[in-house]
Structure 1
Amino acid sequence: MSTVLILLGVIALIVILFISIFNRFAKNRNQVKDAWSNIDVALKRRYDLIPNLVETVKGYAKHEKSTLEAVINARNAAMAVPTGDINGQIKAENQLQQSLRSIFALGEAYPDLKANVNYLDLQEKLNLIEENLERSRRYYNGSVRENNTYGESIPGVLIAGMAKYQHFDYFETEEASRENVKVDFS
């Protein structure tokens, strides 16, 4: 009789442990998705500002058509990433960030543009959005770190497949976008 009770106790303990691990996977996954939703809101606000920024710059830098087209193409590519494809969105956002840096470099080359009130207003709004994105990115990356660490360590790794574990990429700035943008007017 005591052997049966011990066996039932061990089985109950294993079931409780399994439920606890499974619930932790669900919590981590939902925390990453919640963190991404904060980023997604800021990205949509940035997408809305980009056409106004391009139109403002277009009036001053007519021969910079390729730079402006690159910004619009990067914006459209980022907006075209399917909802829920966080890793794909991160890659598209890094491309957009790089093209936005080049458009602000144009402001340095055109003093009239740099003095334009609309341009300055759009630049300020975009800077506020970028600051919000940076805060959201830190929260998201912390959530991703917790999720990925749990899914790749014991005991999580033992039931990761059954718990529908999903690995998420960090949302970091690409190395190329950390370099200064080179603008050549020759």
Structure 2
Amino acid sequence: MTTWIVGAVVVVLVLVAVTLVGAYNRLVRLDQKAQEAWSGITVQLERRYDLIPNLVNTVKGYATHEREVLERVTAARANALDARDQGVEHAAKAEHQFQTALKSLFAVSESYPQLRANESFRKLHDELVDTEDRISASRRFYNGVVRDFNTRRTTFPTNVFANAWRFGQNREFFDVAESRATQISEPRAVEF
């Protein structure tokens, strides 16, 4: 009888150990996946930030008296570059400001038909639209991973041990006011 009790206790302990190891490993995998997803976002943001100086220079050649808008875009770009390393919340706020400044730049471009007809401007615009789509896809992927991580971290029995395993806080979602590529105005054909 005692061997049966000892056997049952051993089985229970093994099951508890397997459950704990499995829960820990799932949290580690999700945490790593979230870090990888955030890296994907920063790569796409960097790609977009690299396009902006060329875009500003192209617009500057046509819209010289729109200096304030160009300076705002340049300052918002610099702020967004700095904010990437300060966490998701700071990056999201800086992205919102950057997107607002970028929209104003494209609004200005509407007043300059020669600019809209410029091959360089059109190419930069197309690259920016493509990059915006990639950022949106990366953001959706990241937020999905964060949702899975936060759900796993807060559900029983993982939530009991998550703090002890240093998974004590939920990850932040990367929520930015949507700047879908469709919101960036398309250059219109210029009539000659």
Is 2:159 the partner of 1:173?
no
2:153 corresponds to which of 134, 151, 157: 151
User: What is the rounded CA distance, in whole Å, between the counterparts of 2:84 and 2:113 in structure 1?
Assistant: 39
Task: Give per-residue Cα distances to partners, 1:43-84, cap 9 Å, x unaligned.
Answer: 111111101111111122222222111111111111113537
- AA at the equivalent of 1:142: G
Aligned counterparts of 1:85 and 1:55: Cα–Cα separation in 2: 30
Give the number of equivalent residue pairs. 179
1:99 corresponds in structure 2 to 101
- The residue number in structure 1 matching 2:188 is none
Native 8 Å contact 1:25 1:163 kept in 2: no
Q: Does 1:109 align with 2:111?
A: yes
Aligned residues with identical type, % of pairs: 39
* Counterpart among 125, 128, 143 of residue 126 in structure 1: 128
* 1:65 aligned partner: 67
Can you give the 5+ residue segments of structure 1 that lack an aligned partner in the other structure?
182-186
Tell me if structure 1 keeps the 8 A contact 2:42–2:84: no
Aligned AA for 1:174? A
Which has the larger displacement, 125-134 or 4-13?
4-13
TM-score of the two chains, using structure 1 as the length reference? 0.85
Equivalence for 2:143 = 141
Distance across 1 between alignment mates of 2:145 and 2:5: 43
Q: Which moved further from structure 2: 82-91 or 165-174?
A: 82-91
Distance, in Å, in 2 between the alignment partners of 1:35 and 1:94 is 20
Partners in 1 of 2:71 and 2:170 — Cα distance? 34
Mapped to 1, the partners of 2:73 and 2:139 lie a distance apart of 22
Residue aligning to 1:34: 36
How big is the shift at 1:28?
0.8
Distance 2:155 2:103 in 1: 39
Q: Which sections of structure 2, spanning at least 5 residues, go unmatched?
A: 185-192
Q: 1:77 to 1:64 in 2, by over 3 A?
A: same
The yes-or-no answer on 1:18 pairing with 2:20 is yes
CA contact 2:79–2:94 (8 Å) conserved in 1: yes
Cα-to-partner distance string for 1:58-116 (whole Å, 9 max, x where unaligned): 12222222211111111111111353723332322222122111111111122222122
* Secondary structure of the structure 2 residue equivalent to 1:81: helix
CA contact (8 A) 1:25 1:151 kept: yes
Q: CA deviation at 1:173?
A: 3.1
